[in-house]
Amino acid sequence: MRVAFFDRDGTIIEDYPDHEWTGINHPEFIDDSINTLKEVIEKGYKIIIITNQYIINEGYITIGQYHDINNQFKSELTRQGIELLDVFYCPHGKDEGCTCIKPNIGMIKQAIHKYPEINLEESFMIGDSAVDVELAINMGIKSFGIGVGSNYKKENIYQLNTIKDLIPYI
């Protein structure tokens, strides 16, 4: 099984400074993200979301608020005909030393444990932060950084300006 591991905030929906998340009640989809997800699925990938949510344990949002926004996120995708395979999130604060906060590989390990048929060589990670690209490097998989900058000039790491630039690569 080929999997496209997607970051959520700043990649599919808008991201905000941590303190602004406190007042956010609805996800705001970024231009072209829905069409891109559709095309990724048409190319034979399953979609798994891998999202750092340290704003939970750091007190900016409640766990209930996280689930509320994520449920709205998934409902809108379903309405658009997009089924996610799964969503993995790390609720831990940056100082907790957990193994799941990106760029640690814990969430991808959880995904492989739950879906042993994942073929990592045919999979990739895409996100808008350095931690997304670093996670892919730590995991040894292909990655696409959106507006991350060119600090990562390595084989298997691609720089994109917007999410829809992904399509020619896959």
Pair 124, 144: CB distance under 8 Å: yes
- Residue 101 binds which of Mg ion, Zn ion, none (CB < 5-8 A, kind-dependent): Zn ion
Q: How far apart are CA 100 and CA 110, in angstroms?
A: 9
Which x/- pattern, by CB under 5 A, does the window 74-113 give for Zn ion? Answer: ----------------x-x-----x-xx------------
Tokens standing for 17?
A: 């400074």
The answer to whether residue 55 forms part of the interface with Zn ion (CB under 5 A) is no
Q: What is the identity of the amino acid at 125?
A: M
68: annotated binding-site residue? no
The strand order across the sheet containing 45-52 reads 86-90, 45-52, 2-6, 124-127, 142-146, 157-160
CA dihedral over 45, 36, 19, 159, signed as positive or negative? positive
Tell me the catalytic residues.
Answer: 7, 9
The answer to whether residue 134 forms part of the interface with Mg ion (CB under 5 A) is no
In 3-159, which ranges are continuous DSSP H helix? 18-21, 33-42, 54-57, 63-79, 106-114, 130-139
Residues 6+ away with beta carbon under 8 Å from 136: 124, 125, 142, 143, 156, 157
- Pick 9 or 142: Cβ nearer Zn ion: 9
Which x/- pattern, by CB under 5 A, does the window 9-28 give for Mg ion? Answer: xx------------------
- Residue 9 binds which of Zn ion, Mg ion, none (CB < 5-8 A, kind-dependent): Mg ion
Q: What is the identity of the amino acid at 56?
A: I
- Pick 128 or 134: Cβ nearer Mg ion: 128
Which listed residue (3, 4, 6, 7) binds Mg ion by CB under 5 A?
7
- Tell me the window of 30-38, 75-83, 90-98, 127-135 that interacts with Mg ion (CB under 5 A): 127-135
User: Residues annotated in the binding site, as ranges?
Assistant: 7, 9, 90, 92, 98, 100, 128
User: Residues annotated in the binding site for Mg(2+), as ranges?
Assistant: 7, 9, 128
